[in-house]
Every structure is written in structure tokens, then in C-alpha cells.
Amino acid sequence: MLGKKLVTAQKRGETRALCLGLGMVACSMMMYFFIGITIVPFYTKSVWTTEGVCKVLKANIKDKVFCPNTEGSEDEEIFPYPCLQVWVNLTASGQEVMLYQTEDTLERNPKCSYVPGNLENAKEVKARIETIASNFKKYQTFPCYYDPGGTQTNVILSRLYPSKGLLFAFLWPTLMFTGGCLIVVLVKISQYVSVLSAWQ
């Protein structure tokens, strides 16, 4: 009687462990799919792939411009902010080019090097832009990213999804997939050993 209870408990434990392993594998595949349709396209679309050195030539704050919201928004001209323009010398080519914060900055407003968030306070935005401009004037030389193919003549300060960030994004689903597969394999080995022991 005790032996039957132990066997039943063992089977239940194996079933739960098997479900856990398969669930982890399924979740990791969903995470892979989500990363593949969200992060990977932005990473592959970016042409600013080569790191270089930029030297500030001038950092000017122009008159206020309107923050571009999403298309079709009724509040399209509700958030004016100072337009910071930073021109740098790219040492790799020796050209005078405009610097943008990220790839997204160029898409939102190609006239400005920095685009603040739509819902930020106007005074805070002005103070932040002035601080950024003074930092550029203070730290003249810094690393930046440029397009080695030459399709984009401008440069960016940082990539939205760098290589390390992409690898880190794939790290967690990979660990989950590996753990799930390991659980399934251990359960199958345990079942095989149990059947083999019973047969002997």
C-alpha cells in the first residue's frame, strides 16, 4: 500500500516537473518571438553601427520649436521647447556633421539634437537643455556612432539598442529555455530509470 502511494506521488511530481519544464520552454519561445518583432527590427534598421570619436565644434540653442507628437494628435503644437543644435567634427572622416541623441531623435525632429518628452515641465526642459549644452562645451571629445556606408551623414551619441543590450535581451529567454529543457530531460531520465528498475 505504501509502495503504491510512493509511486503515485512520484508520478505526480514528475508530471508537475514536466509541465513546469514545458511551460518554461513555451514562455521562452514567446519571449524570443516578442524580442524578434520589437527590438531586432530597430537594431537591424539602424545604420549607425560604427563607433568613432566626435569633437564639438559648436553647441547652440535656437528659438523654441514645437514638440512633434504622434500623427493625428489634436495637441500637435502644445509643447514648445528650445532647439539645441550640436555640430561636431567626426575624426573618422574629418567632416562637420550634426549630432543627435539617438536614432529616434532624428525621426522626431531632424532640426534639433535633443528632443524632450512630450509631458515634461517647460522650465525643467529648458534647464536640462542648457545643462546638456554646457556639458557639450565642457567635454569637447566623446565617442559617437556614425554610418560607415555613408547613407547618413550625421552621427548619434548613443544607440537605442546596442549590441550588448540585444545580447542581454536574449539572455533571459535563453536561460529559461535551457532550464526548461534541462528539467524535461531530467524527468525523462528519471522515468527511464524507474521503468528500468521495475523491469529488473
Average pLDDT, the chain: 82
Q: What is the pLDDT of residues 127-174, one digit of tens each?
A: 888 899 999 988 889 999 999 887 888 999 998 888 788 888 899 999
Q: How far is Cα 159 from Cα 48, in angstroms, rounded to an integer?
A: 8
Q: How far is Cα 78 from Cα 61, in angstroms, rounded to an integer?
A: 20
Query: What pLDDT is stored for residue 2 in this prediction?
Result: 43
Tally helices (H) and strands (E) across the chain: 4, 5
Instruction: Calculate what percentage of the chain has a pLDDT beyond 90.
Output: 28
Q: What is the pLDDT of residues 9-30, one digit of tens each?
A: 567 777 888 888 899 999 999 9
More confident residue, 175 or 151: 175
